[in-house]
Protein backbone atom coordinates (compact mmCIF):
# COMPACT_ATOMS: atom_id res chain seq x y z
CA UNK A 1 0.00 0.00 0.00
CA UNK A 2 1.54 3.27 -1.08
CA UNK A 3 4.82 1.75 -2.26
CA UNK A 4 5.94 2.71 -5.77
CA UNK A 5 8.63 0.45 -7.25
CA UNK A 6 10.20 0.00 -10.66
CA UNK A 7 7.94 2.60 -12.28
CA UNK A 8 10.55 4.83 -13.88
CA UNK A 9 13.86 4.30 -15.58
CA UNK A 10 15.82 6.08 -12.87
CA UNK A 11 14.07 4.07 -10.18
CA UNK A 12 14.83 0.75 -11.87
CA UNK A 13 18.43 1.75 -12.49
CA UNK A 14 19.13 2.73 -8.89
CA UNK A 15 16.72 0.43 -7.09
CA UNK A 16 15.05 2.79 -4.65
CA UNK A 17 11.49 2.48 -3.39
CA UNK A 18 9.12 5.45 -3.15
CA UNK A 19 6.68 5.34 -0.25
CA UNK A 20 3.73 7.73 -0.50
CA UNK A 21 1.46 5.83 1.87
CA UNK A 22 2.47 6.86 5.38
CA UNK A 23 -0.48 9.23 5.66
CA UNK A 24 1.50 12.15 7.10
CA UNK A 25 1.91 14.09 3.86
CA UNK A 26 5.61 13.18 3.73
CA UNK A 27 6.87 11.00 0.89
CA UNK A 28 9.91 8.81 1.49
CA UNK A 29 12.55 7.14 -0.67
CA UNK A 30 14.29 4.03 0.62
CA UNK A 31 17.52 2.67 -0.79
CA UNK A 32 19.54 -0.30 0.41
CA UNK A 33 23.06 0.84 -0.34
CA UNK A 34 25.32 -1.46 -2.29
CA UNK A 35 28.61 -1.08 -4.09
CA UNK A 36 26.53 0.11 -7.08
CA UNK A 37 25.87 3.42 -5.28
CA UNK A 38 29.37 4.20 -4.04
CA UNK A 39 31.80 6.88 -5.19
CA UNK A 40 35.57 6.80 -5.53
CA UNK A 41 35.98 7.05 -1.76
CA UNK A 42 33.81 3.98 -1.08
CA UNK A 43 30.89 5.96 0.33
CA UNK A 44 27.47 6.89 -1.05
CA UNK A 45 27.84 9.14 -4.11
CA UNK A 46 26.57 12.60 -3.15
CA UNK A 47 24.65 12.76 -6.39
CA UNK A 48 22.63 9.69 -5.44
CA UNK A 49 21.97 11.21 -2.02
CA UNK A 50 20.72 14.30 -3.83
CA UNK A 51 18.55 12.20 -6.15
CA UNK A 52 16.84 10.44 -3.27
CA UNK A 53 16.18 13.76 -1.55
CA UNK A 54 14.86 15.31 -4.76
CA UNK A 55 12.58 12.38 -5.46
CA UNK A 56 11.15 12.33 -1.95
CA UNK A 57 10.60 16.08 -2.13
CA UNK A 58 8.84 16.00 -5.49
CA UNK A 59 6.54 13.21 -4.33
CA UNK A 60 5.85 15.14 -1.13
CA UNK A 61 4.70 17.97 -3.38
CA UNK A 62 2.46 15.51 -5.24
CA UNK A 63 0.84 14.48 -1.96
CA UNK A 64 -0.49 18.03 -1.61
CA UNK A 65 -2.58 17.35 -4.75
CA UNK A 66 -3.81 13.81 -4.17
CA UNK A 67 -2.71 10.66 -2.41
CA UNK A 68 -1.42 8.92 -5.53
CA UNK A 69 1.95 10.61 -5.07
CA UNK A 70 2.18 10.88 -8.84
CA UNK A 71 0.79 14.37 -9.58
CA UNK A 72 3.53 16.05 -11.60
CA UNK A 73 5.85 18.49 -9.84
CA UNK A 74 9.00 19.98 -11.32
CA UNK A 75 12.11 20.69 -9.32
CA UNK A 76 12.99 24.35 -9.90
CA UNK A 77 16.01 24.54 -7.60
CA UNK A 78 17.56 22.21 -5.07
CA UNK A 79 20.11 22.96 -2.37
CA UNK A 80 21.79 20.00 -0.70
CA UNK A 81 24.15 19.92 2.26
CA UNK A 82 26.30 16.86 2.88
CA UNK A 83 26.73 16.10 6.56
CA UNK A 84 28.10 12.59 6.86
CA UNK A 85 29.12 9.62 4.69
CA UNK A 86 27.04 6.46 4.26
CA UNK A 87 28.41 3.04 3.40
CA UNK A 88 27.21 -0.06 1.58
CA UNK A 89 25.04 -2.29 3.74
CA UNK A 90 22.98 0.56 5.21
CA UNK A 91 19.42 1.44 4.30
CA UNK A 92 19.02 5.19 3.81
CA UNK A 93 15.67 6.97 3.91
CA UNK A 94 14.90 10.38 2.42
CA UNK A 95 11.81 12.07 3.88
CA UNK A 96 10.25 15.24 2.45
CA UNK A 97 8.28 17.91 4.29
CA UNK A 98 6.44 20.95 2.90
CA UNK A 99 7.65 24.13 4.63
CA UNK A 100 5.73 26.78 2.71
CA UNK A 101 4.35 27.94 -0.57
CA UNK A 102 1.19 28.85 -2.35
CA UNK A 103 -0.85 28.09 -5.43
CA UNK A 104 1.88 27.09 -7.83
CA UNK A 105 5.17 26.88 -5.95
CA UNK A 106 6.06 24.84 -2.90
CA UNK A 107 9.04 25.05 -0.58
CA UNK A 108 9.99 21.56 0.49
CA UNK A 109 12.74 20.35 2.83
CA UNK A 110 14.10 16.84 3.25
CA UNK A 111 16.52 14.77 5.27
CA UNK A 112 18.40 11.64 4.29
CA UNK A 113 18.96 9.42 7.31
CA UNK A 114 20.87 6.15 7.69
CA UNK A 115 19.66 3.10 9.56
CA UNK A 116 21.50 4.13 12.72
CA UNK A 117 19.87 7.58 12.72
CA UNK A 118 22.82 9.49 11.31
CA UNK A 119 21.72 12.40 9.14
CA UNK A 120 23.59 11.93 5.85
CA UNK A 121 22.34 14.98 3.96
CA UNK A 122 19.67 17.66 4.09
CA UNK A 123 18.05 19.64 1.32
CA UNK A 124 15.70 22.49 0.61
CA UNK A 125 14.11 23.19 -2.72
CA UNK A 126 11.55 25.03 -4.78
CA UNK A 127 9.04 22.85 -6.60
CA UNK A 128 6.37 23.76 -9.13
CA UNK A 129 3.10 22.06 -9.81
CA UNK A 130 2.67 21.30 -13.48
CA UNK A 131 -0.84 21.43 -14.89
CA UNK A 132 -1.53 18.23 -16.85
CA UNK A 133 -1.96 20.16 -20.10
CA UNK A 134 1.48 21.77 -19.77
CA UNK A 135 3.47 18.57 -19.51
CA UNK A 136 3.60 17.98 -23.24
CA UNK A 137 5.19 21.40 -23.71
CA UNK A 138 8.07 20.62 -21.35
CA UNK A 139 10.29 22.56 -18.97
CA UNK A 140 9.01 26.14 -19.09
CA UNK A 141 9.72 27.46 -15.64
Tell me the C-alpha to C-alpha distance, in Å, between residue 71 and each of 3, 37, 58, 92: 15, 28, 9, 24
Task: Find out whether 25 and 2 touch, Cβ atoms under 8 Å.
Answer: no
Report, in Å, the least distance between residue 63 CB and its own copies.
14
Helix (H) or strand (E) holding 136: none
19: enclosing H helix or E strand: strand 17-19
Name the site residues for its own copies (rule: CB under 8 A).
7-10, 12-14, 34-41, 43, 45-48, 50-55, 58, 70, 72, 74-85, 99-107, 109, 119, 122, 124, 126, 128, 130, 135, 138-141
Give the residue with the Cβ less far from its own copies, 1 or 141: 141
Residue 110, phi then psi, degrees to nearest 5? -155, 155
CB of 22 to its own copies, least distance (A): 19
Q: Which residue number, 23 or 47, has a Cβ lying nearer to its own copies?
A: 47
Closest approach, Cβ 79 to its own copies, in A, equals 4
CB of 44 to its own copies, least distance (A): 9
For its own copies, give the closer residue by CB, 55 or 60.
55
Specify the residue, 26 or 122, whose C-beta has the smaller distance to its own copies. Answer: 122
User: What spatial distance separates the first Cα and last Cα of the chain, rounded to whole Å?
Assistant: 33
Nearest approach, Cβ of residue 3 and its own copies (Å): 15
User: Which segments of the chain does DSSP mark as H helices, in order?
Assistant: 9-14, 46-62
Amino acid sequence: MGLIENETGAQRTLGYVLDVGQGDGCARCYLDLTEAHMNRHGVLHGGIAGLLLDNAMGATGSLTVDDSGRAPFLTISLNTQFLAPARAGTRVTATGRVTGGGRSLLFIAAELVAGDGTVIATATGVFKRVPQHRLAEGGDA
